[in-house]
Structure 1
Amino acid sequence: MLPPTAQPQNSTSGNRTARGLRRKLKRVRRRIVYFLVRALFVMLGALPVEAALALGRFAGSLAHLLALRPRRLAKDQLSRRLALSPNAATALAKRSFQTTGESIAELAVAEYLRAHTKTGAQGNVLDPLIGFPDGAKRQLEATLAEDHGAIVVTGHIGNWELLAQRVASEGYDVATLARSHPNPFIGEWLVSRRERAGVETIDRKDPKAARKILAAIRRKAILGILIDQDTSVRSTFVPFFGELAKTPTAAAELALKRRIPVLVAYSARSTKGREVRVRRVPLDGLPDDFDQAVIALTAKLTAMLEEAIREDPAAWVWYHDRWRSRPDPVEKLIERGATNSTSRG
C-alpha cells in the first residue's frame, strides 16, 4: 500500500505566499495610480480654466467609451427614469461622464488658484470656478443665525467637492461625512486637499466618527452629508425618480434628534459657470413617530435632490447603480405609509 500523499503544510504556505504577493502587487498598482492622478492634477491645474475643462470633458468622453458596464448602466437608468429614447439616453450618459471629467479639472484648477493667488487679492479665489450668489449666502446666514449650526444635504450633483470648498472659502466651519476612498493613497491625499481648503472630512468607517460628528454639531458647524447613493450604511427606501431607492438616513436622524436646521445645497451650471444653490428644508408636517418622521424627512430631502437633478440631468452620476437594492414587501408598506403621510401634510 502506498503512503498518503497529502502535503497540507506546503500547500498552505504556498497559498499564503501567493496572497502576500498579490497584496504587494495591489499596493504597487494603487501607488502608481496615485502618482498618475497627482501628475494629472498638476498638469490640469496649470492650464487656463477653459482649457482644463475641455481636457476634463475629453477624459470623460474617453471614460464613457472605455467603461462598458457603467456606460450601459447609465444608459439603462436614463432610459427608464427619464423615459428617453436610446439615442437621447446615450447622449445624456456621455454628458454625465463629461461632467465628472470637468469636475476633476475644476478641482485641479482650484488647488492651483489657492496656491498661486496673492494674499489680499480682490474677490474669492474660487470665483473663476464657482460663484456664491447673494441669495444663497443670505439663506445660509439666516439659518446659521439660529445658532444651531446646519446640516447641509447634497448629492453627487455637479461638483459636490467644489461646493464644500466654496462654502468653506467664505470662512464657514465646514465638515463632511464621507466614505473612505478604496485607494488609501488617493484617500489620504483627498482628505489633505480638503483640509487645505478648510473642509474637515469625517470618515463613516472611522471608529471615532460618531465623536467627530458630535464635535462638529457642538461647535455649530455646517455638516455636509450626501444621501443619493446606495451604500452599506443605515438606510431606508424612499421614492427617487418613480421607484423606491435605498437612501441613507443619517441626515434626517441627526436633524430630528438634535433639532438642527436642514438645507439642501448643490452646485449648478449658470451663465457664468457654476454657482452654489441653497434651499431651506421645512421640518413641519412630519409624523409624530420618530422612525416614521425619519423616513418622511429622508423622502422629502430625496425629492428635493431629484428636483435639482431634473434641472440638469447630465449633472448627476447616472453610472452609479442607484436602484440595485430592493425593498421587501413589508419595507414597501412602511416607507410608502410614511411618505404618503408627508405628502398629505
Structure 2
Amino acid sequence: MVYQLVKIVSRIVCMLPPPIWQRIGKMLGAFCWLIVPTKRKKMAKENIMISLSLDPYQATEIAKRSTTRFGKMFMEVLNMPNFKANHMKDYVHYQGCEYLDEALKHGKGAILATAHSGNWELLGAALAMYGFPLIGVAQKQTNAEMDKFINEYRRMSGMHITYKTGVREMVKMLGEGRVIGLIMDQDAHSDGVMVEFFGRLASTPQGAAALARMKDSPIVPAFITENTDGTHNVVLHPAVWVERTDSREEDIRKTTQELTRTIEHHVRQHPHEWFWLHNRWKNTPQIK
C-alpha cells in the first residue's frame, strides 16, 4: 500500500513544473523543522557552535537550513523519472570527473567516499547517469515497501544496489572494475575507528579504507552541493591511496583520518548542507 501510494505521488510530482514542486519542497522542509524534537535541535546547535565557533543564533540558522532542505531533497527523489529522461544535463554540473576516470584506469575499481551533505541520493544517480559503473551501498529500510521504492529509484539511474552486509559482493565488484559508493560520516559505534573530526574524536566507518587496502584500490572523495539557482554541482577530488605497512589497523586509521579531513573541509565550506541532526560525536570518549 505504501509503495503504491508513493509511486502515485511521484507520478503527480513529475507532472508539475519545477517552480511548483520546489515550492512544495520548501513547505515540506519548513514542516520538518517544526516537528524535530527540541532535544535534537539543541544537540545540533551545540555541535555547530563547538565545531564552527559560532554564536547560538548563527548555529540555530545553520541547523534550521540543514533540516529544511530535506523537503526539496525528497521532491528531487520523487522526480527521478524526469531526471532519467533528461540525463540530468540541465540540473547537475560535474567537476573533477577526470579523477575518477584516472582512478579506474588502474584496473582495480574505485571507492567513492562521500558524506550526508547536499542531496547524496542525487550524487549517486548523477554519477551513474554520467556513465560510471556505480554500486550504491544501502542501509536496509525498516519499512519493506519504502525500501523497495527507494532502491527501485536508485536503480533507475543505472546504479546497482547492494546492502551494507554484502561485503563479499563489494569485493567481487571492485575486482570487476566497479565503483563502490560509501557514506562515511555517521557515528560507527564500537565498529568504527576513532579519528578527529572538527577537533574531537569520532567513531568513523572504516569500510572505505579497509576495502581499499584489501584490493589496493583508489578512494575518490566526492560531494554534491546546491547552487543558488537550484541546480547542483558534483565535485570529485584526487584519489587517495592506502599506504600499506605491517600494521593494518594503523593503515586504516591514517587513511580514514585523511578522508575525514576532506569531509570536514567540505562541511566547513557548506555547513548548511550537512546533516547536523545526526549525533556524529555520540561515542566520543569522555575527557576525565
Match of 1:198 in 2: 158
Q: Structure 1 pair 195/59, CA: closer, same or farther in 2 (3 Å)?
A: same
Q: Partners of 1:128 and 1:48 in 2: how far apart? A: 14
Contact 2:171 2:211 in 1 (8 A): no
3-state DSSP of counterpart to 2:237: strand
1:324 matched to 2:286: no
The code of the aligned residue for 2:59 comes to A
1:129 matched to 2:54: no
Match of 2:198 in 1: 241
TM-score (norm 1): 0.76
Q: Structure 1 pair 41/142, CA: closer, same or farther in 2 (3 Å)?
A: same
Identify the match of residue 72 of structure 1 among 42, 48, 52.
42
1:35: Cα distance to partner?
5.3
Identify the match of residue 138 of structure 2 among 175, 178, 186.
178
1:297 matched to 2:255: yes
The code of the aligned residue for 1:89 comes to A
Identify unmatched segments of 5+ residues in structure 1.
1-30, 118-123, 330-345
The code of the aligned residue for 1:86 comes to P
Summarize deviations over 1:282-315 as a string: whole Å, max 9, x none: 4376765221010010011011011111111011
Q: Partners of 1:158 and 1:60 in 2: how far apart? A: 14
Identify unmatched segments of 5+ residues in structure 2.
none
Q: Partners of 1:41 and 1:307 in 2: how far apart? A: 35
1:82: Cα distance to partner?
1.3
Match of 1:269 in 2: 226
The code of the aligned residue for 2:283 comes to S
Q: Partners of 2:211 and 2:83 in 1: how far apart? A: 35
Contact 1:45 1:105 in 2 (8 A): no
Q: Partners of 1:92 and 1:36 in 2: how far apart? A: 33
The code of the aligned residue for 1:125 comes to H
Q: Partners of 2:17 and 2:43 in 1: how far apart? A: 33
Kindly indicate whether structure 1 or structure 2 has the higher relative contact order, using CA contacts under 8 Å at least 6 residues apart: 2
Identify the match of residue 212 of structure 1 among 166, 169, 187.
169
Match of 2:216 in 1: 259
Structure number with bigger Rg: 1
Contact 1:287 1:296 in 2 (8 A): no
1:93: Cα distance to partner?
1.0
TM-score (norm 2): 0.91
1:111 matched to 2:73: no
Q: Partners of 2:79 and 2:148 in 1: how far apart? A: 20
